[in-house]
Amino acid sequence: MIGMVKNAKQRYNVNGQMLSLKQLYQSAAPLQGKKGLLRSITTTMANGVPVKVVFVQNRNKKSEWLAILSTDCTLSKQEMVRIYGIR
């Protein structure tokens, strides 16, 4: 499953801490040299499902980011964005 994630009440487990999507963005390491890709992190949702979240630059508002989540953690960051884009 690949989809866009909204900043709602969903929490993500990072090193035993339950983080919101905004906090998850802040804890993810910045990506260098990847046009449009800002950050990426592999984590676990509160229900125990492992996920990979990629944060991309919003094309309409350059100062904002969007989050794409995948339950297939083996996909590369670029592949996740490509697959989501052809939905």
The token pair at 76 is 């590369």
pTM as predicted: 0.92
Structure confidence at residue 4 (pLDDT): 95
Residue 33 has pLDDT above 90, yes or no: no
d(CA 65, CA 55) in angstroms, rounded, equals: 6
What would the mean pLDDT of 35-40 be, rounded to a whole number? 92
Nearest to 9 by CA among 28, 30, 23: 23
Structure confidence at residue 7 (pLDDT): 85
What would the mean pLDDT of 61-71 be, rounded to a whole number? 94
Residue 62 has pLDDT above 90, yes or no: no
